[in-house]
Structure formats: structure tokens, C-alpha cells
Structure 1
Amino acid sequence: MILLLFIALLSRTALADGHHDSEEYSFSPHVGSGQGISYALTGSGRITGVRLWEASNNFVYGIQLRYDYTWTDIAGRELGIMQEIELFHDEFIVQISGKYTHNIQSLVITTNLGRSLYAGRPTGHSFNMYPDNEKGELRLISGRFHGAITSLGAHWGVRPEPDYGSHYGKYY
């Protein structure tokens, strides 16, 4: 548990710099049992894709994020069916919700454009994570895994001003 607190504080410190107010960053506390090996999915740039692994109507076994054009390591395992969403250039993650017991039973990743990625079996206790600031977007995910994902927390930051260049409305 101390390690998770350390990761949360470290990531908050890493996200904050002298040019930003602390109100631009927020943290949704971890849900789940928190057993196993800790992980933090982080990268350079903005999140442009998400992959989730579920075993046929079962737990969420793995999570992977893409930052710009680079996929992170997988937290958990590549077990079962992979669900994937690629974000448009002007799209970002504004909500993570789902159900948990000992493991993360189900996840729903929702974007500002109303698109969602679903994985897992919706049984257990409900959770709902979103940024404190209305201009926030998901920056990184942290938690623990032991076979399947056993805990998950979300780190949010205010998104940069939109770029209405040549990529507007297209996939990365």
C-alpha cells in the first residue's frame, strides 16, 4: 500500500512543473484488493489508444496504453480476447468506470466524443473515475496485478489546447 502511495505522489510530482497550478492535476484513488505487483502505465505525449484483455466474460487480465505512436508494456497478462480503441486526434479519455471485487471485474473507458471501450463482466462494486477539472484528460493508470488486474487508479491532467491542424478528425 505504501508503494502505491509512493507511485501516486511520484507521478503527481512528475506531472506538475513550475508552469502549472496543482488544480490542473487530479488523482482517482485505487479500487480493488491491491494485491500483487505494482504497475504504472505512462509514456511521452498524449494517450492515443487503449487495449484491454478479458477472458470470455470474466476479469480484466491486462491493460495497455498507447502514447502518440508507442505502446506501453502490458500491465497484467495477454489472456483471452483483446478489446482495443484508437483515439481520434481531437479525442481524449474523460472517464473510467466499472466493477470490482478482489479483481477488476469490468472496465468502461469513455472519451469526450462519447465512444466507449468495454471489457470484463459487470459484477461487484461499482466505481467511477473522472478528472476534477472539466478540461482534464487521462494521463496515466497505476495499480497492481496478480494474474488479473487487482487494482486500478487514474491520474488526470488538463489537456493542451486543441491543434486544428491537418490531423483534425483523423486517427493517429
Structure 2
Amino acid sequence: MALGIPPEDPPTSSFLLPADPLTPSSWRGAHMAQEGIKGPVADIQVPKDRLRRPGKAPPPPCLGPRGQGRPLSEIVGLCYSPQEPLNLQPEAMLLWLTLALLWSPTCWAQQKYGPGGGTYFSTSRDFQNDITGIRVFIGPLGLIKSIQVRFGSSWSEKYGAPGGTPQEVILLPEEHITGIYGSYKNFLRHLVIYTDRGRLFPFGKEDGNTFIAFPDESDKVLIGVCGHYKLLGITSIGFEWGYPSFLKK
């Protein structure tokens, strides 16, 4: 069996991708888009030898530990710096996300990722506007110190520890966040945001235990963020999923 995956049906509680994920509502046109992202990531250009073109072999695989928590870049044989845009074809995107689900803990509602401890935070609910942007503050040690969420045209308060260099992404009209990949040790270190336009936006550097979070229904999107933080940064993070505003009307 390809990739060593046993030919058995997944458990009913598994949030595997639907049989036809490459639909207009999910994973189409998978590529890393630089427009709309600000901060240190914005000026990074894609090295020509990192692009995966038809008929060309992908870059050499990254080294890393085996088993759960294995870096996504190693699982799919792709090497990339979290500060470089990642360009994937739809088929590669599908393989990446599917294998990530197999190698990472299943995401349940309100599950927290990270050791936790410290002050609790949660974004306020906005029943009129969808999330339209994310701003992440990265400290000099590579720790994710705090996070802000943009609803409509307004930013939330800053949740987490003070300081850090801001990096942000502004979503396209009617674009939504449909998945989160990340890693942590004592503090949150890495986040990759997936959208329903097939775009990916990395923040921080992958290091430590990895996780991937998805909603339990294909129509749901990210509507809130919660977690804990201490003086040096965010110690745990969780994600709330719900229906976008156009489905509520």
C-alpha cells in the first residue's frame, strides 16, 4: 500500500478530508500567496529551486524524528523555511494535509495545544463579522508572544505577553481560515494558517511537538482563538470553529 497506510477504514471520529476535497469551497488553487501578508515575511521571494514544477523532483527531504510530531516538511519530502512562502500544487496540498492528519493528534472542539499554564485568554465573539486577518507577535527567541484577530475591519485586543515583532495577514474578501498547523515546546513556536482559497501563511519556526486543527464539518471556519500565556509568550492555544456569516443569513 502506498506510503505504508493500512487499507482499513478510518474510525468514525476521525476528521479526515472528504472524498472530494478539491471543490470550490476547499483546497482549490493551493499556493502560498504573498499579497495581503505584512511584516518580515512580506519581502521574502520564493527561491527558484524551492518551486515544485511538473516533471521536476521535489527538494531533498528534511531530517527529523519519526512518528507522531514528525515535521510536515519531512512527511511530504519538502524542505522549506517557515519564513519562505511555500508553493504547492493542489495534489501536493491534499497529500500534505491528509498525511498531517494521520501523523498529528485529532482536533476536538476547544482542544488546547501546548503545556498551558498562566493567564487564560479568549477572543470575543463577533456574530456579525467573520475573521478577516491574523496578527502574530514573534519574540527574539522565536517564541510566539501574542496574537490578534481581525473581525471585519477591526482588530481585537492583543492577547498574550508584551513585545515581539508583528507579522500579519489580511484575508481576501470572503476568504476564511479552515485549518491550522503548528508546533510548541514550553511555548507556542509555529503556526501555519490554511484558507479555503488554498493559501498558506507561516508564522514562526517549526520546533517541538506538532499539531493540526480542523473543524468537524466542512462548512465551518475559524471564528475564535483561546489559550493561555505567561511572561515569555503563549503556552497553549485552541481554536473555535463555526459557520461563516453568509451561511447565517
TM-score range, shorter chain: 0.7 to 0.9
Structure showing greater Rg? 2
Q: Secondary structure at the match of 1:161?
A: helix
Give the drift of 1:78: 4.7
Give the drift of 1:37: 0.4
Kept in 2: contact 1:141–1:152 (CA 8 A): yes
Question: Considering only aligned residues, what root-mean-square deviation do their CA atoms show, in Å?
Answer: 1.7
2:115 to 29, 33, 50: 33
Kept in 1: contact 2:113–2:236 (CA 8 A): yes
1:60 to 123, 144, 150: 144
2:178 to 76, 94, 106: 94
Give the drift of 1:100: 1.0
The correspondence of residues 1-172 of structure 1 with structure 2, limited to 5 A, is: 27-44=109-126, 45-56=129-140, 58-147=142-231, 148-161=233-246
In structure 1, distance between residues paired with 2:124 and 2:178: 17
Higher strand fraction (1 or 2): 1
Give the drift of 1:28: 4.5
Higher mean displacement: 150-159 or 69-78: 69-78
In structure 2, distance between residues paired with 1:56 and 1:88: 30
Kept in 1: contact 2:136–2:147 (CA 8 A): yes
Higher mean displacement: 147-156 or 36-45: 36-45
Q: Secondary structure at the match of 1:27?
A: coil
Give the drift of 1:31: 0.8
In structure 1, distance between residues paired with 2:140 and 2:198: 25
Kept in 2: contact 1:57–1:121 (CA 8 A): no
In structure 2, distance between residues paired with 1:35 and 1:28: 16
1:79–1:117 CA distance, 2 compared to 1 (3 A):
farther
Count of aligned pairs: 137
Q: Secondary structure at the match of 2:218?
A: coil
Q: Which has the higher contact order (CA 8 A, sep 6+)?
A: 1
Kept in 1: contact 2:226–2:237 (CA 8 A): yes
Residue type of the partner of 2:196?
A: N
Residue type of the partner of 2:221?
A: E
Give the drift of 1:161: 3.5
Structure 2 unmatched ranges of 5 or more:
1-107
Cα deviation digits, residues 7-52 of structure 1 (max 9, x gap): xxxxxxxxxxxxxxxxxxx724001111110000134221011100
Structure 1 unmatched ranges of 5 or more:
1-25, 163-172
Corresponding residue of 2:87? none
In the superposition, the TM-score normalised over structure 1's length comes to 0.74
Residue type of the partner of 1:144?
A: H
Residue type of the partner of 1:30?
A: K
In the superposition, the TM-score normalised over structure 2's length comes to 0.52
Residue type of the partner of 1:158?
A: Y
